C-alpha cells in the first residue's frame, strides 16, 4: 500500500497558523476563507469564458438569465458579495470602484478588517488566454464603529495584516502571507480545494530575469535606461546578460519571478511620472509578499510599504524582486536622479 502524502488544505493551514496569533479569534481565518471561496467562483467563470466565445451562442444568458457580465465586473461583484456576507470586513477599496465600498449593515459594521483589492488584474489579457490574477490586501480597521471609511484604507503597507494573490493560469494558485513567510496553494478543481503546494516561498539565490515593458524605453528615467544596459552586459560572474521576460500581467510576471528569480519594473515615465500601478491594491500587497520572500520593493528611492497613501487609486513607480536586484536599480535611480 503506497502511503499517500498528507495534503494540507488552505483551511487547515490557516487554522494551524492562527494558533501562532494568541490574540486571533478566528476572524482573519474566516476572512481569508471568504476570499478563497470567491476566488474559486471567479476561477470557474474565467475557465468558461473562452467557451462562451468559442461556442458563440452558449452563455448568451448566464444561469441567472442576466446578460453575460464582463469578467472583471463579475469578479468584483463576487469578492464584494463574499466579503460583505462574511461579516469580518467593514469596507473595501477596489480597482473597479471609485470610492470606498462601506458595509454599514449591523452584521458587517462589527468587522475588524478592511480589504484593498484588484479583483481581476490584467483582465484585458483574458481573450489572449494569458494568465491573470486577483490581488488582495487586508488591514485592521482604524475607525471604531460603523461602516469602514477611506481612513481605514489609506494606510501604509507596513500596517498590512495579510496580502496575497490568486493566479488563474495553467493551474490556479493562491499565494499569501500574514507576515510569517509566503505559502502557495494549488486548487484541485476536482474537489474545489486549495492544497499546500509551495511551502515557505523564497526568491531563488540566483536570479537572472528582468521584466519591463521596453516599448516605453524612450520615456524611462535615465537610471532605468542605465539599469537595462546593465542587465544586457556580458558578465558571466553575475549571470549577465539577464533574460528578458514580460507578460504584461502583474500577477503572472511577479509569480514567475518569485519562482524562477527575477525583478519586475514598472517605472514612472515622462508621460506617467508615477507609473501605472496602484499603490494600495497592486504595489503594497506584492511588496509585502516580496519582502516576506526575502526580497525588496521600492519606488526607486523609498520602500514602497512606507509610502503614506493620500488617495485610493494613487500610482507609484514600482521595482520589486530579489533584494540585490532592486538595490541595483535604486543605485542607478539615485545616481542619475
Q: Residues in the site for ligand P6P, rule: CB under 6 A?
A: 121-122, 124, 213, 248-250, 253, 276
The distance of closest approach from Cβ of residue 119 to ligand P6P in the complex, given in angstroms and rounded to an integer, is: 12
**In what helix (H) or strand (E) does residue 321 lie, and over which residues does it extend?**
strand 318-322
Identity of the residue, 141 or 276, whose beta carbon is nearer to ligand P6P in the bound complex: 276
Identity of the residue, 253 or 330, whose beta carbon is nearer to ligand P6P in the bound complex: 253
The distance of closest approach from Cβ of residue 248 to ligand P6P in the complex, given in angstroms and rounded to an integer, is: 5
Cis bond upstream, residue 241 (ω within 30) = yes
Cell 527575477 sits at which residue? 262
The distance of closest approach from Cβ of residue 220 to ligand P6P in the complex, given in angstroms and rounded to an integer, is: 12
Identity of the residue, 249 or 257, whose beta carbon is nearer to ligand P6P in the bound complex: 249
Identity of the residue, 197 or 213, whose beta carbon is nearer to ligand P6P in the bound complex: 213
Tell me the C-alpha distance between 254 and 173, whole Å.
13
Structural contact between residues 176 and 182, judged by C-beta atoms closer than 8 angstroms:
yes
The distance of closest approach from Cβ of residue 238 to ligand P6P in the complex, given in angstroms and rounded to an integer, is: 26
Within 10 angstroms of residue 233's Cβ, the number of other Cβ atoms is: 10
Cα–Cα nearest to 265, from 306, 226, 294, 311: 226
Identity of the residue, 89 or 166, whose beta carbon is nearer to ligand P6P in the bound complex: 166
Strands 172-177 and 182-188: antiparallel
**In what helix (H) or strand (E) does residue 173 lie, and over which residues does it extend?**
strand 172-177
Strand partners, 243: 209
The three three-digit cell numbers of residue 268, written as one number = 514612472
The distance of closest approach from Cβ of residue 124 to ligand P6P in the complex, given in angstroms and rounded to an integer, is: 5
Tell me the C-alpha distance between 275 and 116, whole Å.
19
The distance of closest approach from Cβ of residue 182 to ligand P6P in the complex, given in angstroms and rounded to an integer, is: 19
Strand partners, 134: 166
Identity of the residue, 148 or 221, whose beta carbon is nearer to ligand P6P in the bound complex: 221
The distance of closest approach from Cβ of residue 189 to ligand P6P in the complex, given in angstroms and rounded to an integer, is: 24
* Residues 6 or more apart in contact with residue 307 via CB below 8 angstroms: 156, 157, 279, 299, 316
Strand partners, 136: 117, 164
Identity of the residue, 174 or 265, whose beta carbon is nearer to ligand P6P in the bound complex: 265
Amino acid at each position: 500500500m503506497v502511503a499517500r502524502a498528507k495534503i494540507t488544505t488552505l483551511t487547515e493551514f490557516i487554522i494551524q497558523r492562527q494558533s501562532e496569533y494568541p490574540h486571533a479569534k478566528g476572524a482573519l481565518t474566516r476572512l481569508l476563507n471568504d476570499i478563497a471561496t470567491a476566488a474559486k467562483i471567479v476561477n470557474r467563470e474565467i475557465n468558461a469564458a473562452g467557451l462562451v466565445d468559442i461556442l458563440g451562442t452558449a452563455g448568451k444568458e448566464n444561469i441567472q438569465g442576466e446578460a453575460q457580465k464582463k469578467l472583471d465586473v463579475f469578479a468584483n461583484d463576487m469578492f464584494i458579495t463574499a466579503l460583505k456576507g462574511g461579516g469580518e470586513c467593514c469596507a473595501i477599496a477596489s480597482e473597479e470602484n471609485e470610492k470606498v465600498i462601506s458595509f454599514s449593515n449591523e452584521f458587517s459594521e462589527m468587522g475588524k478588517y478592511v480589504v484593498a483589492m484588484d479583483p481581476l488584474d490584467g483582465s484585458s489579457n483574458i481573450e489572449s488566454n494569458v494568465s491573470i490574477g486577483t490581488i488582495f490586501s487586508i488591514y485592521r480597521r482604524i475607525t471604531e464603529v460603523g461602516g469602514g471609511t477611506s481612513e481605514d484604507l489609506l494606510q501604509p503597507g507596513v500596517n498590512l495584516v495579510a496580502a496575497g494573490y490568486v493566479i488563474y493560469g495553467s493551474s490556479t494558485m493562491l499565494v499569501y502571507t500574514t507576515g510569517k513567510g509566503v505559502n502557495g496553494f494549488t486548487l484541485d478543481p476536482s474537489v474545489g480545494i486549495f492544497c499546500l503546494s509551495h511551502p515557505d516561498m523564497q526568491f531563488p539565490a540566483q536570479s537572472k530575469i528582468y521584466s519591463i515593458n521596453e516599448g516605453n524605453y524612450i520615456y524611462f528615467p535615465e537610471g532605468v535606461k542605465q539599469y537595462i544596459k546593465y542587465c544586457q552586459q556580458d558578465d558571466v560572474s553575475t549571470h549577465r546578460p539577464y533574460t528578458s521576460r514580460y507578460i504584461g500581467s502583474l500577477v503572472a510576471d511577479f509569480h514567475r519571478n518569485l519562482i524562477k528569480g527575477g525583478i519586475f519594473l514598472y517605472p514612472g515615465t515622462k508621460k506617467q511620472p508615477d507609473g501605472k500601478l496602484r499603490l494600495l491594491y497592486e504595489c503594497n500587497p506584492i511588496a509585502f509578499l516580496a519582502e516576506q520572500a526575502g526580497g525588496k520593493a521600492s519606488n526607486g528611492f523609498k520602500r514602497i510599504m512606507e509610502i503614506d497613501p493620500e488617495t485610493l487609486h494613487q500610482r507609484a513607480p514600482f521595482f520589486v524582486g530579489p533584494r540585490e536586484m532592486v538595490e541595483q536599480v535604486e543605485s542607478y535611480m539615485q545616481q542619475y536622479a
